[in-house]
Structure 1
Amino acid sequence: METEFKKCTEEDLKTLQEISIETFKDTFEAQNSPENMRAYLEKAYNLKQLESEMANEFSSFYFVYYNNETAGYLKINTEEAQSEEMGKDAFEIERIYIRTKFLRKGLGKYLLQQSIDMASAQNKRKIWLGVWENNENAIAFYERMGFVQTGAHSFYMGDDEQTDIIMTKVLS
C-alpha cells in the first residue's frame, strides 16, 4: 500500500468539490430526501464556498492518495475557524471522508493519525469532531480511536435539523 498525504491548494478546488460531493452523497444520500441533499450540497460544496474555506488561515484541506489515486480528504480547523467555540487549545476535524472504493484500507485511521500529529505539533490539548447521531459505524470507529461523547449540536441538511454528536479525545 502506497499512501500519500498532501495539503490542498487552489489548483485542487475542482477535485476537492468533486470528491466532497461524491463522498457526502455516498455516505448520507440514502437517509435524506433528495431536496435536502441537493440544498446542502449546493450550499456546502459550491466552488465559492470551498474557496472561502480554503482561504481561511485557520482551516486546511488535505487529500489522501492510495496507490496514486485520490482516495479521500480531510478538513481541519483551529482557532476561530472551529464550527463550535472550543477554545484555543482545541483542534477540530470538520470533515474526514474516504471514497467508497477505498474503504476498509486503513485510510480513515491514517487521516485521523495525521490530524492527531498536527494537533500535537501545534500544542493542542484536545481534538474533536461532530458525527451524525445515526452514523453508527463512524461513532464506533471514533470510540475505538479513543474519542468520547462530550456534547451535541444541530446540523442542518437542507431544512431538516439533525443532531451531530460531539466527540473529543484528550491529547497527552
Structure 2
Amino acid sequence: MEIIETKKVAIQDIKELQKIGRQTFYETFASGNTEENMQKYLDEGFSIDKLITELNDTNAEFYFAMLDNNVIGYLKLNSGQSQTELQDKNSLEIERIYVLQQFHGKKVGQVLYDKALQVAKERNLEYIWLGVWEENPRAIRFYEKNGFVAFDKHIFKLGNDEQTDIMMKLKLTDN
C-alpha cells in the first residue's frame, strides 16, 4: 500500500498549488456549470496574485496530499478572521479538500481531512466547519461519515450563477 503524505504548502510551491487547484476544481464542477462561469472562476479564484495573498495570510494554510513526490490533492484551512463566514476564534474552516479524479476512492480526502482534524485538535478548537455544494452528494456523504451535521446554508457565486452550499460542522469538545 502506497503511503499518502501531507506537506505544508510554501510560497515556492505556488505554481503547483495553482495547477492542482484549477485541475481539481474543474474536474469536480465542470459538468454542472457553464464553461464561461468555470473559466471566470478558475481565472479569478486561482490567479497567482490571489494565491500569494492567501499563502501570506497567517490565518490560512494549505497542505498538499503527496504520493511518490506528486501532488494528488490539497487542503485549505482558515482560522480567525480569514474564515469565509463564522469567524469564530474557536473554530477552523475547511475551505477546500480537493483530490484529482483519478485518486477518488483511494482515501486521499480522508488523509487531508485527518490533517485538518489534527490541526484543530492541536489548537484546542471547539469545532470544524465547512460549506459543501448541495449538488455534491459524494462530498456530503464523506462529511456525514466523519460526523459532520448540517446547520445552515449559504450562497456561493460561481460566475453569474448563485449556488447553495450546505454548511456543516463537527463539534470537537464538550464544553
TM bin (shorter chain): over 0.9
**Deviation (angstroms), 1:86:** 4.0
Matches within 5 A, 1:47-86: 47-86=48-87
For 2:59 and 2:130, locate their aligned partners in 1 and report how far apart those are by CA, in whole Å.
16
For 1:61 and 1:112, locate their aligned partners in 2 and report how far apart those are by CA, in whole Å.
12
For 2:87 and 2:138, locate their aligned partners in 1 and report how far apart those are by CA, in whole Å.
25
Deviations 1:85-131 (A, max 9, x none): 24110100001001112111111111111101100101110001110
Using the size of structure 2 for normalisation, the TM-score is 0.96
Instruction: Indicate the residue corresponding to 2:143 in structure 1.
Output: 142
What letter is aligned with 2:20?
I
**Deviation (angstroms), 1:42:** 1.0
For 1:37 and 1:106, locate their aligned partners in 2 and report how far apart those are by CA, in whole Å.
27
For 1:87 and 1:20, locate their aligned partners in 2 and report how far apart those are by CA, in whole Å.
26
Instruction: Indicate the residue corresponding to 1:151 in structure 2.
Output: 152
For 1:86 and 1:143, locate their aligned partners in 2 and report how far apart those are by CA, in whole Å.
23
- Structure 1 stretches of 4+ moved >6 Å: none
Instruction: Indicate the residue corresponding to 1:164 in structure 2.
Output: 165
Query: Matched residue of 2:85: which SS?
Result: coil
Tell me, which stretches of 5 or more residues in structure 2 are unaligned?
none
Tell me, which stretches of 5 or more residues in structure 1 are unaligned?
none
Instruction: Indicate the residue corresponding to 1:6 in structure 2.
Output: 7
Number of residues of Structure 1 aligned to a counterpart in Structure 2? 172
**Deviation (angstroms), 1:27:** 0.3
